[in-house]
């Protein structure tokens, strides 16, 4: 059964915080000094691998969360207890180093370091973290952690930080400390999410606007393949390098020195140099260019209420991610190919960085149980592993919460 965060959870979280940390030193803990942060994951409807190419995307924050409860601890240390893994971790503000032995700790350390680098006055703090977000499945549990820690710091130490700066700190933490060369998609989604709305993002200038998200009689169903991946240890970073290389070749061949990224190139322009660019890099560029087009078409379909068209666009996106961008896997392809054969499914594609993780699909609400049973049984029989299913809807971004 799914873990639900509510007032009872909040009460237990506070009790756990005090029992785990307050007894270690002379801390006078007032109820008002304990801060709760609810930080969502995200689902990207469409627009994959476009963020670091200054393109377009259409994500939502989802109603699955990291739940942090914390307090100042009058020391120079950050103390963490992960309720899901039942693990402790502690590090000094004066010695923040990358820990390859406890990978999840680096997302916390990277964020803390950003606030110190930017000369914000913070001290030690202790916090409990719980989650109903699946790790490594493409719903951005890492950004939920980063932004959750950032919001906790801002609340505990009364920092007046602009939301876009919170995004930039968390982005820098993941890129420069953790070592994942991601774009801004995840952090913006988690910070700026809005209930019942999708976010139309333009990564050229990090601008965004909200789009009412109404699928009528359909739902978002995410299927976790249970094929775990670690983006810092995959070819994710290589894809970013390949995109930069494709831009460099385009500039050299076309003598268009004004071009800075793939999103400034259209298909006609790309095809003029097709014979002069390696086939692999041509595919990378074609994915980014056509994916931006699909984002715009998806926005138009949402506005006009043509929900079935969105399903077709998801199918096209998966084929592009599989063939042109080469970030899919046998298991992701199987899920995407097989689920669209079931009545009530409009479309599906891999979501997130790829190389494992999950797919996102749009399914008829009245057929949900049947769809889950059919695809779950087929996948289990083929791969001897039972997938997880997540139905989700748009949520608010990370925030202080009192249930």
Sign of the dihedral through C-alpha 300, 304, 309, 310: positive
Question: Contact 198/157 with Cβ under 8 angstroms?
Answer: no
Size (the chain), residues: 403
d(CA 60, CA 53): 20
Please name the residue ranges forming H helices in 22-156. Answer: 105-117, 141-156
95, burial (CB in 10 Å: exposed 0-12, middle 13-18, buried 19+): exposed
| Catalytic-residue membership of 99 | no
Given the residues 63, 130, 186, 224, select the one marked as catalytic: 186
Pair 139, 43: CB distance under 8 Å: yes
Residue that has been written with the tokens 């953790």 in this structure: 178
**How many alpha carbons fall within 13 Å on the CB side of residue 352?**
31
Token pair for 183: 């774009």
Answer positive or negative: Cα dihedral of 237, 224, 64, 210: positive
* The two three-digit tokens of residue 78, written as one number: 């950050």
Structure tokens at 75: 């020391």
CB atoms within 10 A of CB 403: 11
**3-state DSSP assignment of residue 363:** strand
Question: How far is 243 from 283, CA to CA, in rounded Å?
Answer: 10
CA distance 244 to 55: 14
Question: Which position has the token pair 């991946």?
Answer: 229
Contact 239, 325 (CB under 8 A): yes
List the structure tokens of 74.
């009058």
Tokens representing residue 293 in the block: 């087009």
Q: Which residues are catalytic?
A: 186
């Amino acid at each position: 059964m799914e873990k639900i965060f509510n007032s009872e959870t909040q009460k237990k979280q506070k009790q756990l915080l005090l029992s785990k940390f307050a007894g270690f030193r002379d801390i006078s803990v007032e109820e008002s000094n304990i801060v709760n942060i609810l930080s969502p994951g995200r689902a990207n409807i469409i627009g994959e691998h476009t963020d670091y190419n200054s393109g377009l995307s259409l994500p939502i924050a989802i109603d699955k969360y990291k739940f942090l409860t914390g307090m100042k601890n009058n020391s120079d240390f950050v103390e963490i207890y992960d309720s899901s893994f039942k693990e402790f971790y502690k590090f000094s503000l004066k010695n923040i180093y990358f820990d390859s032995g406890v990978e999840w700790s680096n997302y916390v350390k990277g964020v803390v370091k950003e606030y110190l680098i930017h000369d914000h006055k913070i001290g030690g703090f202790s916090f409990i973290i719980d989650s109903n977000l699946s790790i490594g499945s493409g719903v951005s549990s890492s950004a939920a952690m980063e932004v959750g820690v950032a919001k906790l710091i801002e609340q505990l130490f009364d920092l007046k930080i602009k939301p876009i700066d919170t995004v930039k700190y968390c982005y820098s933490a993941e890129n420069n400390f953790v070592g994942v060369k991601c774009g801004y998609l995840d952090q913006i989604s988690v910070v700026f999410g809005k209930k019942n709305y999708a976010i139309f993002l333009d990564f050229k200038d990090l601008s965004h606007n909200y789009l009412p998200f109404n699928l009528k009689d359909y739902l978002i169903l995410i299927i976790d393949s249970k094929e775990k991946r670690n983006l810092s240890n995959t070819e994710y970073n290589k894809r970013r390098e390949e995109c930069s290389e494709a831009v460099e070749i385009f500039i050299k061949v076309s003598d268009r020195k004004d071009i800075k990224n793939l999103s400034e190139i259209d298909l006609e322009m790309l095809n003029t140099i097709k014979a002069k660019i390696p086939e692999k890099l041509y595919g990378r560029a074609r994915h980014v260019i056509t994916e931006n087009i699909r984002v715009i078409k998806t926005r138009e379909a949402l506005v006009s209420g043509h929900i079935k068209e969105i399903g077709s666009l998801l199918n096209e996106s998966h084929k592009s991610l599989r063939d042109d961008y080469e970030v899919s896997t046998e298991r992701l392809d199987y899920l995407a190919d097989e689920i669209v054969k079931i009545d009530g499914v409009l479309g599906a594609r891999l979501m997130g960085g790829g190389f494992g993780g999950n797919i996102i699909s749009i399914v008829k609400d009245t057929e949900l149980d049947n769809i889950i049973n059919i695809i779950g049984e087929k996948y289990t029989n083929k791969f001897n592993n039972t997938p997880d299913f997540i139905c989700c809807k748009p949520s608010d971004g990370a925030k202080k919460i009192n249930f």
